[in-house]
Amino acid sequence: MPWQNDPEKRRRDAKVYGPEYKRNRAVAWRRADGRCEWLIDGRRCGSRDRCQVDHITPVTQNGGHGLENLRVLCRSHHQAKTAQEGGGYRAHHGQRREADPPVQERTKW
């Protein structure tokens, strides 16, 4: 896929996800034993389903790549967290957060 092999994107990613992130990502993965660290009623999810390393505070909000800002989440919990951070932009079809404003009627043309 050509958009995944863009040299400019690779250069940008290399700056954002540099050696500090790569080093701390591996430590976070070992710390969690490759299991989801999402808490449900005070207990870890513990799933191994397509786990990913997540930034607790997004890098765009100056979260950084420090070990204290990284945790392992299963794919479904990572998607839910990312959707919540994006104001529901990436939410699954038809799902809405409780804090969302009511849907307004569309103008009928």
Write out 32-99 in H/E/C secondary structure.
HCCCCCCEECCEECCCCCCCEEEECCCHHHCCCCCHHHEEEECHHHHHHHHHHHCCCCCCCCCCCCCC
Output the pLDDT for position 28.
96
| 104 falls within a domain | no
| 60 falls within a domain | yes
| 7 falls within a domain | no
The structural domain count of the chain equals: 1
CA pair distance 15, 2, nearest whole angstrom: 21
pLDDT of 93 above 70: no
pTM check: above 0.75: no
| 58 falls within a domain | yes
| 92 falls within a domain | no
Quote the domain boundaries for residue 54.
12-85
CA pair distance 78, 32, nearest whole angstrom: 15
| 103 falls within a domain | no
Output the pLDDT for position 91.
47
Please compute the mean of the pLDDT values over residues 36-53 and round it to a whole number: 93
Please compute the mean of the pLDDT values over residues 64-79 and round it to a whole number: 93
